[in-house]
Amino acid sequence: MQQKIVILDFGSQTTQLIGRRVRELDTFCEILPYNKFPKDDPSVIGVILSGSPYSVHDPEAFKVDLSQFIGRLPVLGICYGAQFLSHTLGGKVEKTDSREYGRAHLESIDLSNPLFKGFEKGSQVWMSHGDTITAIPEGFQVIGSTKDVKNAAFWCAPGKVQSSKFKVQSSKGVWAVQFHPEVYHTLQGTQLLKNFVVDICGSTQEWSAASFVDSTVAELKAQLGNDRVILGLSGGVDSSVAAVLLNKAIGKNLTCIFVDHGMLRKNEFQQVMDDYKVLGLNVIGVDASEKFFADLAGVSDPEQKRKIIGRDFVEVFNAEAKKITDAKWLAQGTIYPDRIESLNITGKVIKSHHNVGGLPKEMNLQLCEPLKWLFKDEVRRVGRQLGMPEHLITRHPFPGPGLAVRILGDITPEKVRILQDADDIYIRGLREYKVKLSGEEARRVLQAGVPTVNCQLSTVNSDEVEVSLYDQIWQAGVILLSKVRSVGVMGDERTYEHPVALRAVTSTDAMTADWAHLPYDFMAKVSNEIINKVRGVNRVCYDISSKPPSTIEWE
């Protein structure tokens, strides 16, 4: 039986990051809505309560029945989770005049407590809360304080947890921290989570890319038998890894369909088809660009463009799929964040997601999602475990509608041509430009599995690695501002052409993202090359907005 940590999601933007940190500890975890705790699941070894956009005093604040798990499982509350524990168990949570936000240091810390094993006094943490815990529940003890937050961390040892609402004999401890151990700026946050997940909860750390491949291939063989499976390929890492995994399980019974809607990157259709041939996949390539361009003519609204492309894709895909008359399954490269976002407990939709939705009824196929439990970085690890080429594994995420949502305004073949040419120069430049990293930064990129050109590691001297800009960035692309024209001068002539915006962000999960601080000499070179070589562009800008409040894509 596979062990797992349950993370109850109260709506925090960093809940997925908690999940990724736990998975990095080779431990399976499942993120569930705050009110969906699996009561009768013997595989659960611990519970983490996430942060939340709400205050515990808000009428609409999310609440969970703590008696479901306190008493039989170790519990860790983070930020709102800590405040909810205190508020529910008899402590006191009060609003403050100002938010406690940003870096802080644990000036007082109980290093003998199992949660803080291996910590250093004064360790940096990251605060982000409006309320603060002014009194902890009876039976709890403070184990960490910052200059401004007395009850930054507290716990109740195995024993009796007392509450005015319920009393329960606890054979496991309860821990709570008002800071966020999952974020980058809490420097020993991974150590804290390891202490909880491995030492306190008893994880055997058996979740890995190798174990996932072995168990998933076995499950797919049992699930699919000799049935025929159809998979829609996009050229991205998710669907590609799903295809190779399925091919390993069922071989010739897998048929892949790759639809070119005309808005892929420059020469991408043929390049991807060549890659799939090398991988030994059975792929049908369909050039349907004329249909997509015709149906998108004159359409400028971003959501309408997405819906038209989604509808046309289903029509084209169905037409090809129907030719495979004995197919019983449709496989998709859906990954865990796709499913979490689509089941967001706030109920708010920012934009349509191309990877999640109901199957067309006329297809009459069952759904197979071999990657549905994986985060993006885990998908890449699985791809490496399967022996896939690095350039496929490290490809940046690319929107399902392709360049259609990177053209602000209506879509024409000429606008796509302009954007493809500009994007090709930008992406090629990112791949060719190498940077040297040293020390802790070098160790982080190695831990993340970033491909290195030159690696000199030393435990004594400073570490040094050489990586491409492309592999340091989560996602990059060019935006064509086709509704805008700007004046320029080329030679002795006045031009009146389009500006383009370069976009590059760093991220771990795409839920939050920061704009990448690209070197000036790189941006100067790329800007000059785009303006000189791409007919129709006379100005290059760089987008320096982060998510939130912006999104990674412009549409």
Catalytic annotation, pick one of 79, 156, 201, 368: 79
CA dihedral 126, 129, 131, 136 (to 10 degrees): -40
DSSP H/E element including 309: helix 302-321
Kindly report each contact of residues 206-215 with a partner whose C-beta sits within 8 Å and lies 24 or more positions away, as own/partner: 206/2, 206/3, 206/26, 207/2, 207/23, 207/26, 207/27, 207/28, 208/26, 209/378, 209/381, 209/382, 209/384, 209/385, 210/385, 212/374, 212/378, 212/382, 212/385, 213/245, 213/248, 213/382, 213/385, 213/386
Coil, strand, or helix at residue 279? Answer: coil
Coil, strand, or helix at residue 392? Answer: helix
For the chain, what is the radius of gyration of the CA atoms? 26
Catalytic annotation, pick one of 182, 320, 378, 497: 182
Backbone angles phi, psi at 44, to 5 degrees: -75, 125
Residue 290 known to be catalytic? no
Closest CA to 154 of 171, 170, 133: 133
Q: How many CA atoms lie within 13 A of 370 on its CB side?
A: 35
- Count of H helices and E strands in the chain? 15, 25
Residue 29 known to be catalytic? no
Catalytic annotation, pick one of 87, 129, 180, 498: 180
Q: What is the spatial distance between Cα 153 and Cα 111, in angstroms, rounded to a whole number?
A: 12
CA 420 to each of CA 2, 274, 289, 414: distance values in angstroms, whole numbers, following the listed order = 46, 19, 14, 10
Q: What is the spatial distance between Cα 504 and Cα 474, in angstroms, rounded to a whole number?
A: 8
Judging by beta carbons within 10 Å of its beta carbon (0-12, 13-18, 19+), is residue 135 exposed, middle or buried? middle
CB 169 within 8 A of CB 160: yes
Coil, strand, or helix at residue 81? Answer: helix
| Tokens representing residue 358 in the block | 């109901």
Residue 180 known to be catalytic? yes
Bridge partners (DSSP) listed for residue 504: 476
CA 177 to each of CA 78, 192, 388, 528: distance values in angstroms, whole numbers, following the listed order = 5, 10, 41, 50
Q: What is the spatial distance between Cα 178 and Cα 143, in angstroms, rounded to a whole number?
A: 12
Give the active site residues: 79, 180, 182
